[in-house]
A and B are shown apart, each in its own frame.
Chain A
């Protein structure tokens, strides 16, 4: 039971990470109609920039603004140079161009930082654990991630539902033409949304840095899961990204934690482990297929 609760919290932590990435992606997707495969690269850039600054200055906290700034600046740059030219194109061109961006960023990072993964220490105040329930100590840093993720979710909720910009964003996700017709500077809105998405990706990157190896390819690993979250949640829906993010984070973590053990009771050790992990990896994709077959536009479809 304790183990289960611990894994549940791990799932929650993975879930909020997925949400941070999916929130930006779903808005970019829903409002601009652009499939941005390079979203994972922004996450990677955030992680690298943050880790590097943290290592140079010796302070993890200084790494955070560095990660945000690096991701946001890169975001603005690719929006202005590449994405802006893709708005009117079909999905095929978008996939190809942003695939090209992935290659460029991955090799660029390799050129600068080499192939060795970077590691960063946990900030001193958060390197211990607290006993959240009797017999269940849990790392404070992971709790911090969960708290930060939930805070961002709340902030986004307020931004989207309580402000004029949020109103435009909602309108844009429902009906692009309408926002254009309202006489809003659509280009500015697009840039702002893209920048926000990049910022969130960078935040996810630096927060993940101390608990993961910061390495080239980390973006693609999480990118697919993020896309799955976006599609399950319904393209353009922040609420959908939140629900689907947590759902997937928990489901994926629990499957990975417990499936090999269950299979071990049926077959021999190493084969059970391999098969268990394999099937656990299949879990999120299977979930998406099931959701799409029941609701072809996702759980919280916007617009239609």
Chain B
């Protein structure tokens, strides 16, 4: 079993690495952009899954971290190209080695602040309070005319990396792929760590973990911050891939979309959110090429999926796998 899954992982990775050549060969350049976005959304959804699936915290506001990551890249670029100072203090930059870590840092700080307040509640109240924080950020950026208001910030040139020609779509794709793989390995590490075990315990039984002497709140907050940083990373990469940062990235529908990706792929599974992100994007683009009312079909598919299956795509794959 182990060996076979390794073979599949290697095959999948090879296909992903060769993707620019494949899309070139079949003359579907837009497909590469789709895969790029799928990988990035995969990062965001997998980050959400850390709190939602592994930690049992249903955050309905992860668009906040995704969006802020995008805005960090956008604002730094704006300051860079206007040669102005952010808040009159810091110069902008278009260096990815600075913008992306900074985006993660800002998203992490934001997650620490939101989490510290939101984690005092639970259940439905937690769902709503995380949504509320994201909405506040959404309206804040809509009203900030400096950063384009409702239109957002256009990033005319993608961030630079030393030695690489980032204007090349394939190069950008490989950078995104490398980031995704690194993120995936990091996430797997976290899940298998001492912290990951405690987090899993908290999801199953918070009261028991407290009785074992675990200060539950701190652990949940830690997971929330890590998860926020992951979503911030995704947002920063998305701003680069789309060359655009807009309030849409912060909207509650975006939080919902991320949630759908997680559930579609499989809650509390490592690879699930990536499959979920890919499936949703492919579904969207295929359906929308058939009919302008593709949302109707998507809605029906969601309904059937929730009512008909439990455990998402990963459960389905597991079943097929077991049958072989």
Contacts and interface: CB of A to CB of B under 8 A. Distances in A.
Direct contact of A and B (CB under 8 A): yes
Interface of A: 29, 35, 82, 85-86, 89, 91-93, 95-97, 99-104, 106-108, 110-111, 220, 224, 227-228, 231, 235, 270-271, 274-279, 281-282, 285-286, 288-289, 292-293, 296-298
Given A97-B307, A111-B293, A274 B149 contact: yes
Contacts of B131: 224, 227
30 contacts: A89-B306, A91-B58, A91-B124, A91-B127, A95-B127, A96-B263, A96-B306, A99-B260, A100-B301, A101-B303, A102-B299, A103-B298, A103-B299, A107-B296, A107-B299, A110-B293, A224-B131, A224-B252, A231-B125, A231-B128, A235-B124, A271-B145, A275-B144, A278-B140, A278-B143, A281-B139, A285-B133, A285-B136, A289-B117, A298-B125
Interface residues of B, number: 44
A111 B124 contact: no
B178 interface: no
B132 A288 contact: yes
B302 interface: yes
Given A277-B143, A289-B117, A108 B296 contact: yes
A298 B121 CA distance: 10
Contacts of B263: 92-93, 96
Interface of B: 52, 58, 60, 117, 120-125, 127-129, 131-133, 135-136, 139-140, 142-145, 149, 252-253, 256, 259-260, 263, 267, 293, 295-296, 298-303, 305-307
A275 B143 CA distance: 5
A111 B259 CA distance: 27
Contacts of B117: 289, 293
Nearest to A105: B299
A289 B133 contact: yes
A103 B133 CA distance: 24
Q: Is the interface of A mostly helix, strand, loop or mixed?
A: helix
A95 to B, nearest CB: 7
A110 B135 CA distance: 26
Contacts of A275: 143-145
Contacts, number: 133
A144 B220 CA distance: 49
Given A278-B144, A288-B128, A293 B120 contact: yes
A99 B125 contact: no
A210 B189 CA distance: 57
Nearest to B143: A278
B145 A101 contact: no
B315 to A, nearest CB: 13
A85 to B, nearest CB: 5
A297 B307 contact: no
A35 B52 CA distance: 17
A39 B1 CA distance: 46
A227 B123 CA distance: 14
Contacts of B135: 224, 281-282, 285
A106 B295 contact: yes
Given A278-B139, A279-B139, 8 more contacts: A29-B124, A96-B306, A99-B260, A100-B298, A104-B300, A227-B128, A278-B142, A293-B117
B52 A92 contact: yes
